[in-house]
Amino acid sequence: MNVLIADKFEEEGIAALREAGCAVTIRTGLKDAALADAVRESECEVLIVRSTKVGKEVLAASSALSLIIRAGSGVDTIDVESATTRGIRVCNCPGMNSVAVAELTIGLMIALDRRIVDETDDLRRGVWNKKEYSKARGLKGRTLGIVGMGRIGYEVARRAAAFEMRLIYSDVIARPDLEAELGIRRVELPDLLREADFVTLHVPGGSDTTHLIGAEQLALMKPTAFLLNCARGGIVDEKALAVAIGRGALAGAALDVYEIEPGAADTEFKDPTPKVPRVYGTHHIGASTEQAQLAVAEEVVRIVTAYMTSGKYLNCVNPPKAAIVL
Ligand code: MLT
């Protein structure tokens, strides 16, 4: 089976695919027409991507292409609707990087409370300001509002519970099992925004959640509260966020994802929001720990192997009718 890998992928995963009998081509740093050419030239049946966007041009490149695997959990970088129309299946690797994202979320929450980035900046400029940086409120007893109680939300909740935080969540699906396990309480989103000292977002991206947090929602937050987005750019209206922070409607924010986010082949970053004081930014690295990437690679290999040996699509987000396999 011909497999094209279009993004950075663990060596262990590449070796396992070759051992399983796949002819693996690696072409990273391509986009649009160049990626379409690579799909055509490699005659790949399976395309493995991470940050690289897969649009109509790539989907139309070759009739051999039958499966796209996102080496991650979200599939918003792939035009799933067009893939479905063409009979191309899209599979993902849910849950494999949840702990990594949760760890970054907790790290950013502490960084915001203690203003670690500003402190580091000052020290690098030779400024000592113990008085200014001695005003952290601490996490114990503070309320963490988790928007989206899926796998990542759960891992965040478990860790925050260890910090003795008060936990609330909002989700379209009630999780009485987790409420019992973690002592977490389900509330409506507006109530969560009003009550929480930290609001962390863990919902999927896409049209349903675009600007879920905009001016109206930010206005509900406490002036001492912080917002964290390690989920997807676009869930937060960043212009509204900058305005809200500027007028003191909330204390700050940490973002790992952006409305204007570079693709895998780009190095220039154009989103202005991390330049706003009290906004801390990371480079969409929530999922990027060695452990998480190895787990994702193993899952990708499992998906390719199942497809190759039995024609089954594991974790398929657009399964052929009557063929749902987990
Ligand atoms: C995911 O969807 O799991 C992450 O965004 C993966 C990534 O960082 O590429």
pLDDT (tens digit, 9 = 90+) per residue, 26-63?
999 999 999 999 999 999 999 999 999 999 999 999 99
Q: What is the pLDDT of residue 326?
A: 56
Ligand 1 pocket mutation pick from 7, 50, 293 by most atoms within 8 angstroms of CB: 50
Q: pTM (2 decimals)?
A: 0.94
The rounded Å distance from CA 50 to ligand 1 centre is 7
For residue 27, give both structure tokens.
């072409």
Counting from 1 in the atom list of ligand 1, the atom nearest the Cα of 287 is: 8
Active site residues: 232, 261, 284
Sequence ranges of the chain with CATH classification 3.40.50.720: 2-96+290-310, 98-281
The rounded Å distance from CA 232 to ligand 1 centre is 9
226-241 mean pLDDT:
98
Q: What is the pLDDT of residue 265?
A: 73
The rounded Å distance from CA 233 to ligand 1 centre is 12
Residue 264 — very low, low, confident or very high, per pLDDT cuts 50/70/90?
Answer: confident
251-272 mean pLDDT:
92
201-230 mean pLDDT:
97
Say yes or no to pLDDT of 201 above 70: yes
Residue 165 — very low, low, confident or very high, per pLDDT cuts 50/70/90?
Answer: very high
Residues 191, 174 contacting (CB under 8 angstroms): no
Counting from 1 in the atom list of ligand 1, the atom nearest the Cα of 93 is: 3
Residue 304 — very low, low, confident or very high, per pLDDT cuts 50/70/90?
Answer: very high
Task: Find how far residue 90's CA is from the centre of its chain.
Answer: 17
Counting from 1 in the atom list of ligand 1, the atom nearest the Cα of 75 is: 2
| 143 C-beta closer than 6 A to ligand 1 | no
- CA–CA dist 292, 167 (Å, integer): 25
| 49 C-beta closer than 6 A to ligand 1 | no
The rounded Å distance from CA 97 to ligand 1 centre is 8
Cα separation of the two ends of the chain: 22
Ligand 1 pocket mutation pick from 5, 284, 291 by most atoms within 8 angstroms of CB: 284
Judging by DSSP bridges, how do beta strands 226-229 and 67-70 pair with one another?
Answer: unpaired
220-232 mean pLDDT:
98
Nearest 5°: the CA angle 287, 261, 146 is 50
Please state which architecture CATH assigns to domain 98-281. 3-Layer(aba) Sandwich (3.40)
- CA–CA dist 314, 299 (Å, integer): 9
Which superfamily, per CATH, for 2-96+290-310? Answer: NAD(P)-binding Rossmann-like Domain (3.40.50.720)
Q: What is the pLDDT of residue 297?
A: 98
